[in-house]
């Protein structure tokens, strides 16, 4: 079955040091001339490791930097591409508005859809993508995609938003609905395996919300539950851990109803159980991570009851066993910073993925700008560091294709996607293509819709 790659792109390159210090203040962030402002969809050829732009939706009116992805050199020896200033369609250049990534009104706005085979000719339509459409999630049906709108205000309320879109046979997206995320700066979203529930983590609020989903994929409002962490953090890192920071929500893919929420501010992964009949959320336990480590994202082993937790603040990855009651027990830890490097303030771990065969783990490292590669032990599932693959600057997110043959990683600062081929025996990566894409911050693979046709370029 053909695969599509969905990419969420921030509306702005935020001054990270200022944002982290203030917890994302309402001061207008600096906006890069090449920010991405939307959700991009690519067709992928896993045999060649090639991507081709299918469509893209824009986040806000008057955004002058919106541009389609364009194919770049497939030669790994070529330098990273410097995105050119895109041509501004008349409908955009006529607008006097600007993209304001930390506030949002729900009024319909002009959005530009890039039709297959014509990536430079936009077509206007009345659909709202919203500002800062960052992290994405796919419904189990494969026909609905969800996006956080990572903002402080939505429709005059002190909260961000979460949006649902229908995936059309053309590869375009149509808005279903958008609701408040019940907290500021929603940074992650996930859908339960049953397709009945959606969970959103709100970073600046230190909480998460669980919603019921309709048969059409719409998000029911108000949420079934809003769970507050903290509010005080553990305080080990006075800058980053003064308050709670829920950073991810992950449902157990096995369908047990377990829900896990890493909290960077608490140095804990909080464990919950969601009742499939009522949607009631019950706390079941917590996994304590090393002081000052800042757990950010976790990933499940595909065949074993294990999870791996990337800690943002110290480049450690925790291995934990999933117990019968759904709680977690730590069984291992590995530091993945290269021996030749010393830790620098502002360097941050990002995310973690496990290969479909369960043999290798990959972790994102912002600052050193590398993907660490670890081998997973056959016995207890703990990790040993194999090596590192250099990549573009600020790899906030990456993902493996369903076959595990391809890894795509985004350079949030460099404004491009790099496609790597993966050696299944060694776990090592080799670059095959670089594709222009403004501020890519999330990658999700999903099946192409029925009736979808899109010619791939020759290798």
Percent over 90 (pLDDT), the chain:
64
pLDDT of residue 1: 56
Model confidence at 55, pLDDT cuts 50, 70, 90, reads confident
3/65: higher pLDDT: 3
Residue 369 CA: distances (Å) to CA of 34, 275, 348, 391:
20, 40, 10, 6
pLDDT of residue 181: 97
Among 118-127, 199-208, 297-306, the minimum mean pLDDT is found in 118-127
pLDDT of residue 172: 87
pLDDT at 229 over 70: yes
**Residue pLDDT, tens place only, 179-202:** 999 999 999 999 999 999 999 999
pLDDT at 83 over 50: no
Model confidence at 11, pLDDT cuts 50, 70, 90, reads low
The Cα–Cα gap between 259 and 254 comes to 11
Which residues, in sequence order, are CB contacts of 210 under 8 Å at separation 6+?
A: 197, 198, 199, 223, 224, 225, 226, 227, 259, 274, 279, 281
Strand 250-251 versus strand 258-263 pairing type: antiparallel
pLDDT of residue 96: 27
Model confidence at 235, pLDDT cuts 50, 70, 90, reads confident
User: Please, what's the b/e burial string for 219-253 (b: 16 or more CB within 10 A of its CB; e: otherwise)?
Assistant: beeebbbbbebbeebbeebeebbbbbbbbbbbbbe
Check: CB of residue 7 under 8 Å from CB of residue 437: yes
64/270: higher pLDDT: 270
The conformational region for residue 451 under phi > 0 = left, psi -120 to 50 = alpha, else beta, is left
Which residues, in sequence order, are CB contacts of 107 under 8 Å at separation 6+?
A: none
109/335: higher pLDDT: 335
73/290: higher pLDDT: 290
Model confidence at 131, pLDDT cuts 50, 70, 90, reads confident
Model confidence at 456, pLDDT cuts 50, 70, 90, reads low
Type and span of the H or E element at 372 = strand 370-376
Residues in the chain: 459
pLDDT of residue 128: 56
The Cα–Cα gap between 178 and 171 comes to 20
- Phi first, then psi, for residue 404 (nearest 5°) are 80, 5
Residue 454 CA: distances (Å) to CA of 13, 22, 167, 239, 450:
32, 45, 15, 48, 12
Model confidence at 348, pLDDT cuts 50, 70, 90, reads very high
pLDDT of residue 58: 72
Nearest-5° Cα angle at 275, 199 to 296: 35
- The 10 Å Cβ neighbour count of residue 84 is 10
The Cα–Cα gap between 317 and 385 comes to 10
pLDDT of residue 155: 83
- Phi first, then psi, for residue 93 (nearest 5°) are -70, -20
Burial of 87 (0-12, 13-18, 19+ CB in 10 A): exposed
**Residue pLDDT, tens place only, 316-342:** 999 999 999 999 999 999 999 999 999
The Cα–Cα gap between 51 and 426 comes to 24
The Cα–Cα gap between 212 and 224 comes to 7
Among 54-58, 110-114, 348-352, the minimum mean pLDDT is found in 110-114
Task: Extract the tokens encoding 427.
Answer: 């776990």
Closest to 136 (Cα-Cα) out of 355, 396, 316 = 396
Check: CB of residue 166 under 8 Å from CB of residue 143: yes
- The 10 Å Cβ neighbour count of residue 339 is 7
Provide the mean pLDDT of the chain: 82
Residue for token pair 């979808």: 452
């Amino acid at each position: 079955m053909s695969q599509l790659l969905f990419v969420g792109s921030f509306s702005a390159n935020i001054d990270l040091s200022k944002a982290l210090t203030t917890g994302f203040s309402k001061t207008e962030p600096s906006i890069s001339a090449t920010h991405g402002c939307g959700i991009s969809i690519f067709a992928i050829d896993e045999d060649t490791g090639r991507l081709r732009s299918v469509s893209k939706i824009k986040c806000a009116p008057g955004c002058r930097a919106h541009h389609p992805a364009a194919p770049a050199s497939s030669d790994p020896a070529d330098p990273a591409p410097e995105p050119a200033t895109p041509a501004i369609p008349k409908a955009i250049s006529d607008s006097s508005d600007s993209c304001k990534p930390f506030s949002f009104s729900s009024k319909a706005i002009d959005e530009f859809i890039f039709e297959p085979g014509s990536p430079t000719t936009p077509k206007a339509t009345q659909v709202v993508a919203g500002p800062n459409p960052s992290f994405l999630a796919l419904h189990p049906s494969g026909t609905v995609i969800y996006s956080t709108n990572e903002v402080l205000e939505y429709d005059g309320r002190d909260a961000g938003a979460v949006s649902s879109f229908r995936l059309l046979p053309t590869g375009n997206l149509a808005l279903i609905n958008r609701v408040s995320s019940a907290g500021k700066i929603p940074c992650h979203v996930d859908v339960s395996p049953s397709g009945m529930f959606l969970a959103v983590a709100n970073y600046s609020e230190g909480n998460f919300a669980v919603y019921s989903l309709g048969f059409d994929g719409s998000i029911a409002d108000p949420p079934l539950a809003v769970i507050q962490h903290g509010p005080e953090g553990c305080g080990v890192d006075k800058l980053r851990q003064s308050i709670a920071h829920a950073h991810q929500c992950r449902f157990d893919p096995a369908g047990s109803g377990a829900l896990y929420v890493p909290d960077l501010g608490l140095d804990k992964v909080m464990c919950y159980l969601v009742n499939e009949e009522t949607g009631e959320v019950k706390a079941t336990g917590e996994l304590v991570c090393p002081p000052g480590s800042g757990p950010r994202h976790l990933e499940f082993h595909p065949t074993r009851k294990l999870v791996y937790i990337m800690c943002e603040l110290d480049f450690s990855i925790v291995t934990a066993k999933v117990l019968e009651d759904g709680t977690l027990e730590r069984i291992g830890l590995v530091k993945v910073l290269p021996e030749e490097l010393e830790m620098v303030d502002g360097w941050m771990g990002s995310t973690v993925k496990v290969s479909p065969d369960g043999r290798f783990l990959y972790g994102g490292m912002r600052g050193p700008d590398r993907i660490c590669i670890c081998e997973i032990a056959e016995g207890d599932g703990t990790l040993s560091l194999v090596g590192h693959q250099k990549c573009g600057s600020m790899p906030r997110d990456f993902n493996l294709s369903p076959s595990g043959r391809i890894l795509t990683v985004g350079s949030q600062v460099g404004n491009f996607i790099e496609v790597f081929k993966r050696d299944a025996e060694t776990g090592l990566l080799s670059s095959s293509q670089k594709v222009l894409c403004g501020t890519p911050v999330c990658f999700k693979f999903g099946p192409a819709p029925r009736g979808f046709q899109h010619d791939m370029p020759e290798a």
